[in-house]
Structure 1
Amino acid sequence: MSVPLLSRLSREGRAPAVGSEPTLPSAEDLRAHLDKQVRIAGRGFWKQPLAVAGVIILGLWLVAGVFAPWIAPYDPLAQDAARFLPPGGDHLMGTDSLGRDVLSRIIHGVRITVPYAVIIVAVSTAIALVVGSIAAYAGGWVDEVLMRITDIFLALPSIVLAMIVAAAIGPGLENAVIAIIIVAWPPMTRIVRSLVLSIRSRDYVTASRLLGASSSRTLVVDFGPNLIGSVVVVAMIEISQRILLLAALSFLGLGAQEPTPEWGRMVSDGAAILDRWWVATFPGLAILTVVLAFNLIGDTLRDTVDPQVSKQVKE
């Protein structure tokens, strides 16, 4: 989506010609440009079978989560004397150590795993957009200070740092979310900074500044439409990673606590009971399918919306 908008508008006769009074593209021009790029990307996206498969898988899980109280055959917290029943009969995925229906707990777990992962990515992306854009646009000592702070958070692997933060503030689902946000924004900040640096050197940004645009207007009008595609792509891929990290913290006892039907916690409950394979296997498959769906959607968006973002993600 990174198109030299000012040059394109000039070729179409909607930007100032040489010798005329300089004006910046109107809000209508910017919206029309963004809408056109979205339509082009949408047509390419729906032509990809893997993307359609990802949308279907994710859609089924979201529908299950929304209608969980009506779809789930049992109360996810209800205990029963029928402990460790194998899959089949009245319990399609069996029961766990407390006699709770595994299928019901998995269906209700969608309402925890996916929304919390989206919240984590939304907050960390917002932080990354602010920090990365300011660092790249301001440059100099501002860039140096912000990037060294970012490097401090990147010094440790994300899972290790998340474990340290979660252990320090105490186990719990909300604390795990805070810990993951703390470790999620630095990689995104690096990506945003790289994207802003690449956009800053382009001709239409220079022309906009020469025409008298303020720094705030340049960031919003010139950088915004060209950043949004790449940021959305990275965010989609990040959701799958944050689902895994949230499940990992719950698996280690630092995230969701009993009796919350969180998938990572459910895998942890069944991991030590090898002869009761269904207790851990079915929640693990749920994590696998949701992560796969987000990855399929994110990878296709990367190819159709902004192929250049692949390089930024790898960096």
Structure 2
Amino acid sequence: MPENRDPRPRRRRPLRAAVGLLVLLAVVGYFAVQRYSNGGVGAPYCTAAATAGGEQAYEMTPEQAANAATIAAVGISKGLPDRAVTIALATAMQESALRNLDHGDRDSLGLFQQRPSMGWGTPEQIMDPVYSADIFYEHLADVPGYSRMPLTVAAQKVQRSGFPQAYAKHESDATVLTAAFGESGTLSCSGPAPLRGDPEKVKAELVRAFGKEALVDGRSGAPAGRTAPGGVAEPEISLRLKRDGGPAEVRRGRAMAHWAVARSHELGIARVSFAGNDWTGGQARGAWQRKGGGGTSGDGGPQAAPDDEVRIFIAR
């Protein structure tokens, strides 16, 4: 009968809620420890910030950062404006979440979900981020006045998606990414120090993303991208930009420096130096440091590169 029911079960709900909250806090705490313990060498992640102060930021995995860096690098190497890079990044964010997918709707593949049956290339070509970004930009450049169009309209002219308005929600984050790679923002990546890398592979990937000009000394026109001999902590690739090359050359240098950071885990890049700032893998929670700051290594680290030089140090 109702009057004989034990009231205690009713009191279990608050207890269950409290237990659930404790479990949630434990999970959040675990990931916080993974991210920030040991100077930020836990689970790898990358952060793009539109300005040095980081007022606008976008977080992503190293895989996403590497793909975003490739998209930006291809656009910058083609001399396209920031608006083109933003359109391309927002499109890839919607189509694949910046992942190089080997599947999709019907025969869609890759970062931009391009279809071999629609003339975008072979499956092998489309699965190459450099190729897929390059052909996206080619189609975008053929759209008259694309830089003055709303992003959704410009992207749709290329993609012909069934949901063109979906691109709009990524415009703000894509703008942050564009600034990080080409204007005055930053891209930082945390996690353990990268493992051993191959300087020749790094050079080859630089050429694929930025073209042969990446390994040409902008000051003399001679072959650049030299790898320093023994006597340094890590093999070094030095990329010298055009002296007094103006904003375009600074933009290219910034893009190469942040490209190196974004691909550091994959390519074994230990340190990057550009414009008086150093990034060192496994230190300072992945943040860039002014020369002489807390992020420099015990052996003194690389000398901070001037504005017209990017220095990339390979782990060994």
> Under TM normalisation by the shorter chain, which class is it?
under 0.3
- TM value normalised by structure 2: 0.27
> Looking at both structures, which has the greater relative contact order when contacts are Cα pairs under 8 Å and sequence separation is at least 6?
1
Task: Give the structure with the larger strand fraction.
Answer: 2
**TM-score, normalised relative to structure 1:** 0.27
| Larger helix share, 1 or 2 | 1
